Amino acid sequence: MYTQKVLDHFENPRNVGEIENASGVGMVGNAKCGDIMQMFLKINEDGIIEDCKFKTFGCGAAVATSSMATELIKGKSIEEAEKLSNAAVVEALEGLPPQKIHCSVLAEEAVHAALEDYRKKQAEKAQ
């Protein structure tokens, strides 16, 4: 039912944890399953995501998709990270069962929420 990649990221999730004084933090949840995902980004002055960590209180697919999402955006620019889609996360995991696609949507939303928080903080700093 799950690909080896999904199982690998579930059993050995990458980049788990929090970043203190993160440049951007995003928290999203799915009302139906009750799962929650938190994403922390450290973005440098050149707009590159230097570090990225997550905490997921949810199903195995949610853990695997958030782990993969951090791998996909680490070292990338803000613009590239903004383009991250749940489809790209699913593809990188070599597929997810249809009933688990919403878990990958949560990962996409968590990244976007953290980027939005970063932009908000930057705008506040500029004032």
Catalytic residues: 33, 103
Shortest Cβ 86–ligand FES spacing (Å): 11
Shortest Cβ 25–ligand FES spacing (Å): 19
Residue 14: strand pairing partners: none
The span from the CA of 24 to the CA of 55, in Å, is 14
The span from the CA of 109 to the CA of 103, in Å, is 10
Give 88 or 105: the residue with its C-beta nearer to ligand FES. 105
Report the 10 Å Cβ neighbour count for 109. 19
Give 48 or 92: the residue with its C-beta nearer to ligand FES. 92
Shortest Cβ 104–ligand FES spacing (Å): 9
